[in-house]
Amino acid sequence: MGQLLWISLLSGLATGIGGLIVIWFGHPNSRVLGFYLGLSAGMMGMVVLIDLLPASLEYGSIKGTLVGLITGIFIMLIFDWLLSKVLFSSSSYHYRNMGYFMTLAIALHNLPEGLAIGAGFETKEEIGIRVALIIALHNIPEGLGVASSLYLGNLSNLLVVLLPLITGFFIPIGTIISNLIGEMIPNWISIGLSVASGAMGYLVIKEVGPESLRLNRLSGQFGVVVGILLMFIVYLMHN
């Protein structure tokens, strides 16, 4: 159990690397940020379409997956509405809102990923390690996207690193849950994956993708393509 928790924790904390990169290199210009956000959009889109949704269907049912998708979208709609009412619509707050969106969505999808790591280890230790490695690889650019938005939202450097880092702790939490629920893991994984799919899909289509193109269409499109290719390579490594 101790080794499993350490591996899942290190996998989750990879999001903090993205925050450190943003702080180290300073204020990103529109071209760089467009690439970062496009990269995150491409990778998150691939995670939803190739990883989360198929896994949800595998462990659950079509009906349960649809319910989870709608729930995830509904959560993001409520969060969107609350932020719009609480925060102003200036450029600074706009980026801060988007950073909060990304933080919530990534935290949601990190929880079932932690469940998946735990389930993989219960099946075979090598499978759990490979899953953890894949999650760590795509957590870095996700952390970049979150940190870039929060940085432009005029949050302190501490929060720019801390918020992406906090999302990583949901992975070992999910791993702990996977050890507690035992035989119920497949059902819980299906629900968690489908809710995360809805939240992340909303984020990619409504916020991250369009914003990357608005900042710089060419670099945003390039980032999306690179993100898709990176995830394709990661899946090839996994298989």
Q: For 3-37, how does the pLDDT look when each residue is reduced to its tens digit (9 = 90+)?
A: 677 777 777 788 888 788 888 876 667 888 788 78
Residue 208 near residue 98 (C-beta atoms within 8 A): yes
- CA dist 42 and 46 (Å) reads 6
Max CA distance (Å), the chain:
50
Enter the tokens of residue 50: 């190739």
Burial class (CB in 10 A: 0-12, 13-18, 19+), 20: middle
Enter the tokens of residue 237: 């490594």
How is 114-183 classified by DSSP, letter by letter?
A: HHHHHHHHHH-HHHHHHHHHHHHHHHHHHHHHHHHHHHHTT--HHHHHHHHHHHHTHHHHHHHHHHHHGG
Using DSSP, state whether 90 is helix, strand or coil.
coil
Residue 190 near residue 65 (C-beta atoms within 8 A): yes
The closest of 216, 220, 119 to 176, measured between CA atoms, is 119
pLDDT at 88: 46
- For residue 164, the surrounding DSSP H or E stretch is helix 157-168
Q: Which residue has the higher pLDDT, 76 or 93?
A: 76
pLDDT at 224: 93
Q: Whole-prediction pTM value?
A: 0.68
User: At which residue do the structure tokens 């119920």 appear?
Assistant: 184
Tens of pLDDT, residues 28-79: 678 887 887 888 788 878 878 887 788 778 877 888 889 889 988 888 888 7
Q: How far is CA 188 from the centre of its chain?
A: 18
pLDDT at 40: 79
- CA dist 213 and 211 (Å) reads 5
Tens of pLDDT, residues 183-227: 555 566 677 778 778 887 888 888 778 888 988 999 999 999 998
Number of domains in the chain: 1
Q: Which residues contact 160 (CB under 8 A, 6 or more apart)?
A: 19, 22, 23, 147, 150, 151
Tens of pLDDT, residues 100-154: 777 877 787 677 677 666 765 665 566 567 667 767 766 777 787 778 778 877 7
- Which structural domain, as residue segments, surrounds residue 110? 2-238
- CA dist 29 and 43 (Å) reads 21
pLDDT at 174: 77
CA dist 124 → 69, 117, 128, 180, 219 (Å): 29, 10, 7, 18, 41
* Other Cβ atoms closer than 10 A to 54: 14
pLDDT at 222: 95
